[in-house]
Amino acid sequence: MKYFNDSEFYNIKEMNGILLAQLDAFREVLSVPLIITSSNSPSQTHTPNSMHPKGFAVDCVVVPNKEVNTHYIWLLALCYFNAVGYYSDEYWHFDMRPLSPGQPKLFWYGLNQPENIEYFYSGSHGLNILIQGIKT
């Protein structure tokens, strides 16, 4: 990996190789640092079906930059990952959950509380809701 060190992950050997490659490629195009805040540690609290313990997900902070806004990060992340979550400020979730052929990508946004998170699948309806949510 060009932009990340093994020490940034709980157990790099148990991380999904495709996720790591996509994360590095995403960071290259994004051109701003990402700080990994959660990977595959079993001691961290995640939702019951979380991709984190399986090594398919990371949470990170996108270091703020005037030239990289939330819209750009969303659009770019949906090109690289199978699921993208945005919690607040610069906190993001990226994962490479396995998808069946034709299964849409998943994305969500909301505060870091389960009752405030809205989940959507890619497609015109979901993307329109996402865009409206970003504007407000």
Mean pLDDT of all residues in 110-135: 59
Report yes or no on 19 lying in a domain: yes
pLDDT band at 114 (very low <50, low <70, confident <90, very high): low
- Whether 64 maps to a domain, the answer reads yes
pLDDT at residue 38 tops 50:
yes
- Whether residue 121 has pLDDT greater than 90: no
Q: Is residue 98 part of a domain?
A: yes
Whether residue 123 is contained in a domain is answered as: yes
Does a structural domain hold residue 94? yes
Per-residue pLDDT reduced to its tens digit, 68-104: 888 889 889 999 999 998 877 678 999 999 998 988 8
Range of the domain at 124: 6-41+49-135
- Contact status, residue 58 vs residue 46, Cβ threshold 8 Å: no
pLDDT band at 2, cuts 50/70/90?
very high
**pLDDT score of 79:** 93
pLDDT value of residue 133: 57
In a domain, 1, yes or no: no
How many independent structural domains does the chain possess? 1
- pLDDT of 65 reads 84
> Does residue 125 lie in a domain region?
yes
Rounded Cα distance between 88 and 71, Å, is 13
60's CB contacts (< 8 A; 6+ apart) are: 34, 35, 36, 37, 38, 91, 92, 94
Q: Which amino acid is at 49?
A: N
Considering the domain boundaries, does residue 73 fall inside one? yes
Cα–Cα–Cα angle for 115, 77, 97, rounded to 5 degrees: 65
- Can you give the CATH number for the domain in which 115 is found? 3.30.1380
Place of tokens 């979901």: 126
